Structures are given as structure tokens and as C-alpha cells.
Amino acid sequence: MQKTLKSQVVLSGVGLHSGKTVTLRIHPAPVQTGIWFRRVDVTGQDPFVAAHWDLAQHSPLCTKLVNHDGVYVSTVEHLMAGLAGCGISNALVEIDGPEVPILDGSAHEFVAAFLDAGVIEQSEPVQAIRILKEVRVGNDDAWARLTPDDMLTMAFEIDFADAAIGHQKKSLALANGAFVHELCDSRTFCSNSDVETMWANGLALGGTLSNAVVFEGSDVLSPGGLRHSDEPVRHKMLDALGDLSLAGAPILGHYDGYKAGHTLTNMLLRALFDQPDAFCYVTCDAQTAARLPGADVTASDVRQIA
């Protein structure tokens, strides 16, 4: 069945790229609502922005959604991953600024807040998107692909010059709370050599060693080190789930990403919906629903962060 929050969730923090403080209020919503943002600081324009793939615009290092009036919400990927990973189908996200707060750089605080508030079933079943044939975008240097599967599975591979990251790959079936157990606490990351470049381009103005993992060669500069030995590739999978959730329904299929990022994953959704014979919508029976991300997860499943 579709799900929403049992009660409102309120979270505040700084935007990773803007450096501005922002507050989110995530409200329960009726069946068939989907996920919507409302910019409460906007007047004289449409303040509503749908969490939908066709509103995503290319933006360096994040996912940015822009409505027909040019009103936007950026850096939505971790919040969207948290909603999808908790199985939340319907919610209204009120936000008093243009960028979702980065919090600790992962989806952990979103997930913990959602599960503490409670997630409740609603009166109508979930519609999912079943992948029927391969859809692929990119080139030999970086690509993303969807192929048929009976649940959402994911494989990701990265390769970075920093020895502390290097070559990493991971595969995961996103059922049985795997997102909450395995991915949600993995943080965004960068090389220390990239920080000044990002600052010069007006990015990462709110970035600190507390909300991102910063690498320099073989060293991890962030206090406490890594939460997982392969935290970077896990974070890439977290991002991919958030970006795939902009399809508007859970995906039943296998996602492969090779050095992929937000733009490639959005290009993949655009390619998918351009090919009507590559997918179909299905009503999830109890067996299928039990394999969706977020099925049967509770607050006790959230890993404690030291």
C-alpha cells in the first residue's frame, strides 16, 4: 500500500552549496499526491515544485528541480533517497529557501526523523514501474543502465585518483530495509584539491568536514574517518536512489552505474520515458510490495552514529 508520514517532521540546517540556513517541514499527504515541494518564502509566483524527473535541470554536483515559473529547489537527492528508502509515497515538503539542508551529508538524519515520526499505510496500493528491456545512456567513460528485474537492484562502480577512494564497486538488492541498513549513512565526498575550485564557482559554500568526507591522496581529512571502508560508492548508490525516485513511482528493475552522477541518472529516466515499450506500470501485490525499499523498516533499524 502507499505510505505517508504519521506526523510532521521538522529539520533545519545549512545548504551545502548556498551556505544558507533553511528549515524543512515535511507533512503527511493524501494518496496519489506523490512528493511535492512548496517554497514558503516565495510570493507572486507558483511556489509548488513537483519531485519529478522532467523538472530536473543540469546543475553541478546536485539535483535541482525547477517549475514553470523558474522557482526551484536544489540538492534534493538525499531527502528524496530518504523518502524512497523509507517507502514514503506521499508527502508535502515545505521549505523556506532554495536548497535542502545538507545535515550530515548523508540521508541518515532524514531517515531517522521519518521513522521516529512513523510511517503509515494508506488506502490504495503502490503503482510501480516495471522495466521491460534495457535502456542505456552515456559512453565508455561513464554510463548508466536499466535492465529488467523483479525488484530494485543496483550495481555501481567508481574510480578516483585519490588513493583513499580508488576503485570501488558494490551491488545491492534494495529490499528488506537494505537502504536503511547499508546506504543511508554514507556521506557526500570530495577531494581536497576540488574544494577551492568549488568555492571559486560559488559551490560548497556550506561545506565543512562535518557534512562531507574530504580526501587528500591516501588520507581522510574528516574527523572520525569513514563510516564504511567503501563509503564513497555507497554514497553514489544513495544519490542514484534519490534521483531514480524522481520517476514518480518505485522502479522494479536493475540499475547499473559506471562513474555515473545526477545528470546521467536523469538522462536515463528521460530515455526510459521516451521509450513506452521499455516499461509498464504495475499494481504491487503484497509479495511485490514486500520487496520495495522501505518495506517493514522501523526506527530500531537505523544505525547509530557515534
Residues classed as catalytic: 262
Handedness of CA 185, 148, 170, 17 (dihedral sign): negative
The per-residue b/e assignment along 185-200, b for 16 or more CB within 10 angstroms, e otherwise, is bbbbbbbeeebeebee
**Residue with the three cell numbers 538488492:** 173
Q: Are 204 and 140 in contact (CB under 8 A)?
A: no
Beta bridge partners of 174: none
Rounded to whole angstroms, what are the CA distances from 222 to 79, 195, 204, 217?
Answer: 22, 13, 15, 13
